[in-house]
Structure 1
Amino acid sequence: MSDLLTGGCQCGAIRYQFEGPIPVAYACHCGECKKQSASAFSMSVPMQYARLQVEGSASYFVSTVFSGRTKYNYFCGDCGTRLWHSGSNPPEAITLKVGTLDDPSGIAPMGHLWVSKKQPGIELDPASDQHLTQPDNPAAWRSNLESGT
């Protein structure tokens, strides 16, 4: 894909757009991602925040991830939709939530994290890159997914 991509929160208070191509998506099956998505896993695409043109102002809260690093969790303050995560505030490198895209059709995860916590009954593509927990260097892993190595 290399067109204009749009998305936003559930209530429409926050909208964004960016020029494609869409980065390679991955899914996370950890307990935190299940909670934030209210589903069996969360699907994200890594990208630079500067690619987004955002209308509206996202709220955020701070959490600590498994590695001990700080994560900023950006969401709509009106409807609560989780939009993206970043290791910094203001955001620089983000993981955009695929479910917030207006048309996420055709986006399949190329990799899976925390498959040891995968919900029963969820079948994964055996050709996808899978990790029982998390790679030592998640940024490098995401970059390798992007480059196909």
Structure 2
Amino acid sequence: MDDMIAGGCQCGAIRYSLAGPLPPAYACHCGECKKQSASAFSMSIPLDYDQLQVEGTPISFTTTAFSGRAKHNFFCANCGTRLWHSGSIPPDSITLKVGSLDDSSGIAPQGHLWVSKKQAGIKLDQAIEQFDTQPDDVTEWRGNLGQNS
């Protein structure tokens, strides 16, 4: 993906675009990610918020991440679609939710976090890096995704 990339919420009230290519994605299997995605895991792409051109105004609520730090969860007030997470308000570095992209068909995770909490029946590619929990410095790990493949 190396042209303009677009995404947004289910109802269309919030749209975003950014210039590609996208950084590598990762999957998280922790309980919080399963809950927020209402699925077996969540896929995210780390990037800088200033790469996004956003139309509409998402709202946020704050939770506490496993690290103990605040995690700000941005979503559409109309339809509830989760769009991205950030450690700050206003957001700077974010983890964009892959499911909010208009076309995520070519995106495969380049790493897996919290596989100790993985949903039964989900099979993972053993060639992809996996952690029972998460790396000590998850931000550094995200920045290095895809460099060893």
CA–CA distance in structure 1, aligned partners of residues 132 and 21 of structure 2? 29
1:141 partner SS? helix
CA–CA distance in structure 1, aligned partners of residues 143 and 13 of structure 2? 32
| Paired residues, number | 149
Q: Give the aligned partner of residue 114 of structure 2.
A: 114
CA–CA distance in structure 1, aligned partners of residues 22 and 127 of structure 2? 20
- Counterparts in 2 of 1:86-125, with a 5 A limit? 86-125=86-125
1:146, distance to aligned residue in structure 2 (A):
4.1
1:9, distance to aligned residue in structure 2 (A):
0.3
CA–CA distance in structure 1, aligned partners of residues 106 and 135 of structure 2? 26
Q: Give the aligned partner of residue 84 of structure 1.
A: 84
Q: Give the aligned partner of residue 11 of structure 1.
A: 11
CA–CA distance in structure 1, aligned partners of residues 53 and 90 of structure 2? 14
CA–CA distance in structure 1, aligned partners of residues 52 and 146 of structure 2? 19
1:147, distance to aligned residue in structure 2 (A):
3.1
- Counterparts in 2 of 1:61-76, with a 5 A limit? 61-76=61-76
Q: How high is the TM-score relative to the length of structure 2?
A: 0.98
1:147 partner SS? coil
1:36, distance to aligned residue in structure 2 (A):
0.3
Deviations 1:101-122 (A, max 9, x none): 0000110000000000000100
**RMSD across aligned C-alpha pairs, in angstroms?**
0.9
The aligned amino acid for 1:110 is: Q
Q: How high is the TM-score relative to the length of structure 1?
A: 0.98
1:134, distance to aligned residue in structure 2 (A):
1.1
- Counterparts in 2 of 1:138-149, with a 5 A limit? 138-148=138-148
Identical columns (%) = 68
Deviations 1:4-27 (A, max 9, x none): 000000100000000001110000
What 5-or-longer segments of structure 1 have no aligned partner? none
What 5-or-longer segments of structure 2 have no aligned partner? none
Q: Give the aligned partner of residue 55 of structure 1.
A: 55
